[in-house]
Structure 1
C-alpha cells in the first residue's frame, strides 16, 4: 500500500495492542506513577504514555520508536492535549536506548530487542533501581498451527514459559493480566476499520483491489489461524 493508505491504516486504533480503556487504567494504577521519568520503548504514537502523564503532572515522558508517522501522531496529540512540554518523542532504536528511567513501558516491542528473553534482560539495565516495568508480550494460549507460526515466528512462548523467562531475568511480578477476547476482537476490528471505511467510500479507486485483499486476508488470518491461539500478557515488574 502507498504512504497515504499506510498512514490511514491505524487511525481508528486507540493503541497498537489488545487493550481496553478500563484495562489500560488498571495497568497505570499498578505502575504506581509519580514524579520522575517514564520511558515508552517501542511507543508507536504513545497513547498510554500520554495518558500516564495526563494523570501525573510531575511525570516526564519519553517515547522511543522508529516509525516517523506514528511519532508525528504522538507529537500532535501531545500538543493538542497540552502536554508538549511534558513529553518528547524521539526516532531511535528502542533496544539501544540507554536509560535509566523510573518507569518503563515496553508493550508489543520485544521484537526490537531480538527476542522476549533478550528484551527482559536488557530492560533490567534500563529501569532504575526501585523502578517498575510494564511489559506486554504475546504468548501462545493454545498450540499454534504451522500457519500461525509462519505469521508470528517461533520466538513466542507459552504463558508458563513467559513467566519463567521473567523470573530468570531477575524480575518480580507485581501484577499480571491478559487481554480477553473482546479486547482482541476490538483490536483486530480497529486495525482494519479505517481502510475498510475508505474502501466503502472509494470502491472504484485503482488501489481498492489491494486494500480489499489486505483487509479480507487480515480478517481470515485472525479468525482461522490465531484467534484464541495467540494471547497477550501484561506484566508489571520490579527488581
Structure 2
C-alpha cells in the first residue's frame, strides 16, 4: 500500500494496542509518574505518552519510533495540546535508542529488539535502579493453532513463560493486567475502520481490490485464528 493509505489505516485508532481509556488510566496510575523523564520506545503517534505528560506536572517525554508518518501525527497532537515544549520525538529504532529515563513505556515493540527476552534485557539498560517500565507484549492465552503460530511466529510465550523471562532479566512485577475481549474487539475493529470508510467512498479506485482483500483477510484471521487465543499483557516492572 502507498503512504497515503498506510497513514489512513490507523486514523480511527486511539492507540495501536488493545487498551481502553479506563485501563490506560490504571496503568498510568501504577507507573507512579512524577517530575522527570518518560521515554516511549516504539511510541507510534505517542498518545499514551502525551496523556502521561499532560496529566503530570514537571514530566518531560521522548517518543521514539521509526515511522515518520506516526511521528508527524504525534507532533501535531502535541502542538494542539500545548505540549510541544515538553515532548520531543526521535526517528530511531527502539532497540538502538541510547538514552536513559526514570520511566519508560515499551508496548508492542519487542519485535524491534528481536524477541521478548532481548527486549526485557535491553530495556534493563535504559531504566535505572528505582525506575519503572510499562511493558506490553503478546502471549498465548490459549493453545494456538498452526495458523496462529504462522501469523505470530514461533517465539510467542505463554504468560508464565513471559514472567519467567522478565524475572531472569532482573525485573520485579509491580502490576499485571491483560487486555480483555472488549478491548481486543475494539482494537481490531478500529484497525480496520479507516480503510473500511475509504473503501466505501472509493469503490472504483484501482487500489480498492487490495484494500478489500486485506480487510477481509484480517477479519477472517482474527475471528478464526487468534481471537481469544492471543493475549496482550501490560506489566509495570521495577528494578
Class of the TM-score when normalised by the shorter of the 2 chains: over 0.9
Q: Deviations over 1:10-44 (max 9, x none)?
A: 00000000000100000000000000000000000
Residue of structure 2 equivalent to 1:101: 101
Unmatched 5+ stretches in structure 1: none
Q: Once the 2 structures are TM-superposed, how far is the Cα of residue 48 of structure 1 from its aligned partner?
A: 0.2
Distance 2:122 2:194 in 1: 36
More deviation, 199-208/4-13: 199-208
CA shift, 1:235, in A, is 0.2
Pairs within 5 Å for 1:71-220: 71-220=71-220
Higher mean alpha-carbon deviation, 39-48 vs 201-210, is at 201-210
1:99: how far off? 2.2
Deviations 1:45-67 (A, max 9, x none): 00000000000120010000000
Does residue 61 in structure 1 map to residue 72 in structure 2? no
SS of the residue aligned with 1:183?
A: helix
| CA distance in structure 2 between the partners assigned to 1:3 and 1:37 by the alignment | 32
How far does residue 226 in structure 1 lie from its aligned partner after superposition?
0.4
Q: Aligned equivalents of 2:38 and 2:155: distance in 1?
A: 27
* TM-score, length-scaled by structure 1: 0.99
Q: Is the 8 A contact 1:99 1:127 kept in 2?
A: no
Q: What do the CA deviations read for 1:187-207 (whole angstroms, capped 9, x no partner)?
A: 000000010011111112121
* Deviant stretches of 4+, over 3 Å: none
- Structure 2's unaligned 5+ residue stretches are none
Partner of 1:39, secondary structure, is: strand
Of the structure 1 ranges 191-200 and 93-102, higher mean CA displacement relative to structure 2 is found in 93-102
Match of 1:43 in 2: 43
**Residues in 2 aligned to 1:48 and 1:72: alpha-carbon distance in whole angstroms:** 15
Give yes or no for the alignment of 1:235 onto 2:235: yes
- Cα distance, 1:78 vs structure 2: 0.4
